[in-house]
Amino acid sequence: MMKELVEYMAKALVDDPDSVEVHEVEGEQTSVIELRVAKEDLGKVIGRQGRTARAMRTILSAASTKLRKRAVLEILE
């Protein structure tokens, strides 16, 4: 569910939604969600001073709290 949420948010932000890749690495308590986008869309996902990335992490944190898990978003180049 977390993977789909991040993918949905990222595809709405970028110019090339086909290049969005999301991988989830699940642990017992924590899930690490890795997001890859096209190089030219990286700025759109991160935002000015990291505001967009921080907002995505906040939404992900709220959704994961509801599932009683911890989720961490990593934006990869």
**Which pLDDT score, from 0 to 100, does residue 40 have?**
92
CA distances from 77 to 9, 69, 71 (A): 17, 26, 19
Tokens of 66: 């509801």
Name the one residue in this structure whose structure tokens are 């709290």: 65
- The number of helices, as runs of H, and strands, as runs of E, in the chain is 3, 3
Task: Give the C-alpha separation, 19 to 31, whole Å.
Answer: 22
Domain residue extents for the chain: 2-76
**DSSP-derived secondary structure letter, 20:** -
**Which pLDDT score, from 0 to 100, does residue 14 have?**
92
pLDDT tens string, the chain, 77 residues long: the values are 889 999 999 999 999 889 999 999 988 889 999 999 999 989 999 999 999 999 999 999 999 888 888 999 999 98
Is 3.30.300.20 the CATH classification of the domain at 2-76?
A: yes
**Which pLDDT score, from 0 to 100, does residue 4 have?**
92
**Which pLDDT score, from 0 to 100, does residue 27 have?**
85
